[in-house]
Homo-oligomer: A and B are copies of this chain.
Amino acid sequence: MEEESAKLHLSVDCTVFGFDGNRLQVLLIRRIGEFGGLEFHDMKLPGDLVRGVEELDDTARRVLAELTGLRNIPLVQFHAFGSADRTRNPKDVHWVEYAHQAHVKRIVTIAYFALVKIGKSIIHDMEGTEAVWIPVDELPSLAFDHDKIIAVALDYLRTFASMDPSILYDLLPRKFTVTQLRNLYEVVFGSKLDPANFYKKMTQMPYLTALDEYEQGVSHRAARFYRFDKNKYNKSRL
């Protein structure tokens, strides 16, 4: 039993979503090149092993900063993935053993969740890896069980957003139109919404402030820009 646990490892993976005005995207790490004698050309979630006495939340922050350059992003733990056959693919095991000089048998990972404005700048070039946005409906095959993790994260996003829709504003740019907001709702919840009713409902909200700016260069009536006011939102929830 001691032998078994000696090969037990703990990692953290971050599932970061963005929204381009049209589709949901996930932030993935592409690895290309030769590592320890094997050729890699695939994608994975940003993640790493937890260090000695490092707190899980700290690992998540570190991983995201190191691999994508994103800092000060609220990260929330949402699920642990511990199936023994996560390490079914020898290539995934090789990758970890190469990076950490450790014999790896089983890796339990704690998955974290975050939402960011897709405009934030991302690190693109590292030694052999780069961070890229990929639409969730066009995912390639991924390392480990990262496809499952993303599926659970999407579910978590829907659940979370249905309880507190204000998190959706983390996905939008600072200035946005009501139509962009509606598109986001439709993408996240997978349903069509009546534009007129949605418009009235939203512009009534005390925490949406209308700006004196309008869309440019659209071949129809230009939409007004709005801004989300977090302070007013928090006050409106008492």
Nearest B residue to A59, CB-CB: B82
Q: Let me know if A55 is at the binding interface, CB within 8 A.
A: yes
A6 touches which of B5, B51, B106, B163 (Cβ 8 Å): B5
User: What is the CA–CA distance of A182 and B204 in the complex, to the nearest angstrom?
Assistant: 34
Number of chain A residues whose Cβ lies closer than 8 Å to a Cβ of chain B: 31
A1: which of B6, B52, B79 is its contact (CB, 8 Å)? B52
Contact partners of A53 in chain B: CB under 8 A: 4, 84, 106
Residue among A9, A56, A100, A159 having the largest count of chain B Cβ atoms under 10 Å = A56
Residues A1 and B51 in contact, CB atoms below 8 Å apart: yes
User: Which residues of A3-60 have CB atoms within 8 Å of chain B's CB atoms?
Assistant: 4-6, 8-10, 49-56
In Å, the complex CA distance between A55 and B86 comes to 11
**Which B residues are CB-close (under 8 A) to A5?**
6, 8-10, 49, 102
Copies in the complex: 2
Q: Does chain B have a CB within 8 A of A210?
A: no
Contact yes or no, B108 A82, CB < 8 A: no
With A55-B84, A82-B110 known to touch, is A100 a contact of B1 (CB < 8 Å)? yes
> Across the two chains, which residue of chain B brings its CB closest to A81?
B56
**B6 lies within 8 A of A6 (CB):** yes
A89 interface residue (CB < 8 Å to B): no
A125: CB under 8 A from chain B? Answer: no
Rounded to whole Å, the gap between the CB of A227 and the closest CB of chain B is 29
Q: Which residues of B contact A141 (CB under 8 A)?
A: none
Bound Cα distance from A25 to B22, whole angstroms: 47
A83 contacts the other chain (CB 8 A) = yes
Q: Does A80 belong to the interface (CB within 8 Å)? A: yes
Q: Report B-chain residues with C-beta under 8 Å of the C-beta of A138.
A: none
Task: Tell me the complex Cα distance, A9–B4, Å.
Answer: 10
- Besides A4-B51, A54-B84, A56-B80, 18 new A-B residue pairs in contact (Cβ under 8 A), listed by A number: A1-B51, A1-B52, A1-B101, A1-B102, A2-B101, A2-B102, A4-B52, A5-B6, A5-B49, A5-B102, A10-B10, A10-B108, A50-B82, A55-B83, A56-B108, A80-B110, A108-B110, A163-B163
